[in-house]
A and B are shown apart, each in its own frame.
Chain A
Amino acid sequence: MLYSMDDMFNILPTVIVVAWATALILVEAFLPKKYKFITIWLTVLGLVVALVAAINQHGIEAEAFNGMLVVDGFSSFLNILILGSGILAVALAVGYNKRFGFDRGEYYIMMMFSIAGTMLMSSAADLIVIFLALELMSIPLYIMAAFYRGNVNSEEAGMKYFLLGAFAGGFILYGIGFVYGATGATGLSQVVTAINGGVDSPTFLLVGAALILIGLGFKVAAVPFHMWTPDVYEGSPTPATAYMAVGAKVGGFAALIRIFVVAFPTLSTDLVPILWGLVALTLVVGNLVAIAQKNIKRMLAYSSISHAGFILMAFLPYGDAAVFKSSVAAALFYLLAFAITSFGSWGVVIALEKSEGKGLLLEDYAGLGRKYPALGVAMLIFMLSFTGIPPTIGFAGKFLLFKAVMEGGYYGLAILGVLTSLFSAYYYLRLVIIMFMKSGEPNIVSDRWVTLVTASSAVATVVLFMVSTPLFAWAEQAVLKLF
């Protein structure tokens, strides 16, 4: 029942983020209006301190709070990923929120709480803690989606996300109930022990696992649970979209991988056909519907759905003892590649967005490559990375992913993946053609932080491709102890 200070030290990065965010609420309440920018700097400082703690913690293997939380390579990989993403998301939001008139410190505090939830999700080893962490991650996201007060689209996005997120939470909770009913445990390791000892009602267990899969499918936006994604991504303030595209995916996949790999490896024979269908649907729908989009935010939303499909694809052979290590590592690597590319491309969207939702159509990008060559080249790099063309990290991600899936023996799915990648090239490269071949007079809003994020993401997309071997080795090391 009890815990000691060691437990607190084991999850130090998460504790730092939570305590810092709580303290920032007081700072925000007492700061005079003139000094509101201090909250932003303090947020970044807190995230950097937590990032240092997370990097410092790398390599530690420990349990905390009687096995409810686990600290291992997997959790520290994802902690570092989400903390880095948080810093980028703050940089994207500063100028935008001021420009659109809602620069309130609460935005950053909410983001910090959401980051803490994501971090907890990556180390949670108990179904109840996973659910709590999921809510801690999601509730601030609903608020961030509706943060542009007075804008009908933003309010609609917040409301939709809230209702569907709560609905998905219900699925997960119901699934947890079934698993508990079948095994008598909520801790993942106890669940495994119970399953290996033979459960009385394997059907209940399977129903529970399927319900959890549905709920987390909502969070990572897999088809057919993706309906909220385009509307929420379009309506939310763009920096919030940029953060939730990465944050919700990292959290959702962290829980998905941890639960299924640790607790349900024996169910893989039953679940793999379902996952197969889920992946195939997600890839086809995400990539085909993206072609029809005229609004860049909706296009990137469908693109993010299709990338969820790719990550899920790597997750498919999780029950196969021979390949699960490299396939789950490929999923982690792809998540990293997606995060970097995604932040960069949302940065370009923010640079072009005008008030009243202007500057978001694909035509508005006409002439961008000629007028602002640097920005055009950056967007070109991101689109190449999304498509999976070298020399970008997206190529390395897709290569490792298809390799893992082929090793798992899912040739049909690998072929489908390559085919849908070809489809995706159509809409990604169409944007490049519009930027460079069509004439137009786009105006960008200069914002040094957005420029910084876009530039550094573009550089990272290329440079990390060069070092993708050690990066993948890091990801492989991260999943080593998971089993």
Chain B
Amino acid sequence: MLQDYLNDYWPIAILLLLTTLLGIVAIGLGYLFGPRRSNKRKNAPYESGMSPIGPGTRQLPVKFYIVAVLFILFDIEVVFLLPWAVIFKKFVDEGLGNFVLIEMIIFLGILLVGYVYAWKKGAFEWD
């Protein structure tokens, strides 16, 4: 029983092993063959191109936030579109193609409204 259960997870175990190995190999090769010319800027922790040391309550442009929200809008769209596209053929075979298509068009229509709104309000202009 437990054996069967664990058998299902073999691929994940292999994946974990492979990714760990790949990491070790990549870093190890760099360590062995790569040149080492360090300077102050290179040794500083990397934080998306911003200076990592400073006060914690630094102000950021609010535009980053809008970009993040818009990213979620399109990201969720794809998250729902992808499985829909994968099983769409099965629905067509069962004669439910139109129904499922209209469902998706309604969903995209609602997202489109948000997109148009963001566009008209200038959310895509950086300045």
- The residues of A with any CB-CB pair to B shorter than 8 Å are 2, 22-23, 25-26, 28-30
Contact = CB atoms under 8 A, between A and B. Distances in A.
B99 A29 contact: no
A2 B96 contact: yes
Interface in B98-114: 99, 110, 113-114
B120 interface: yes
Contacts of A26: 113, 116-117
5 contacts: A2-B96, A22-B110, A25-B114, A26-B113, A30-B120
B121 interface: yes
Contacts of B120: 29-30
A462 to B, nearest CB: 44
A22 B99 contact: no
B106 to A, nearest CB: 10
B86 to A, nearest CB: 17
Contact of A28 (B96, B117, B119): B117
Contacts of A25: 113-114, 117
B75 to A, nearest CB: 18
Contacts of A30: 120
Query: How many interface residues does chain B have, given as a range?
Result: 10 to 19
Nearest to A30: B120
Rank and list the top 6 A-B pairs by shortest CB-CB distance, nearest first.
Answer: A29-B120, A29-B117, A25-B117, A25-B113, A22-B113, A26-B113
A23 B110 CA distance: 9
Contacts of B96: 2
A385 to B, nearest CB: 41
A2 B114 contact: no
Nearest to A22: B113
Contact of A2 (B99, B116, B117): B99
Q: Which residue, of B113, B114, B116, B119, has the highest number of chain A Cβ atoms within 10 A?
A: B113
Given A22-B113, A28-B117, 7 more contacts: A2-B96, A2-B99, A22-B110, A23-B113, A25-B113, A25-B117, A29-B121
A379 to B, nearest CB: 40
A2 B110 CA distance: 20
Contacts of B116: 26, 29
Interface string B54-98: 000000000000000000000000000000000000000000100
A382 to B, nearest CB: 38
Nearest to B109: A22
A177 to B, nearest CB: 22
A431 B32 CA distance: 81
Contacts of B117: 25-26, 28-29
B70 to A, nearest CB: 15
A325 B60 CA distance: 56
A30 B120 CA distance: 7
Contacts of B114: 25
A288 to B, nearest CB: 38
Nearest to B118: A29
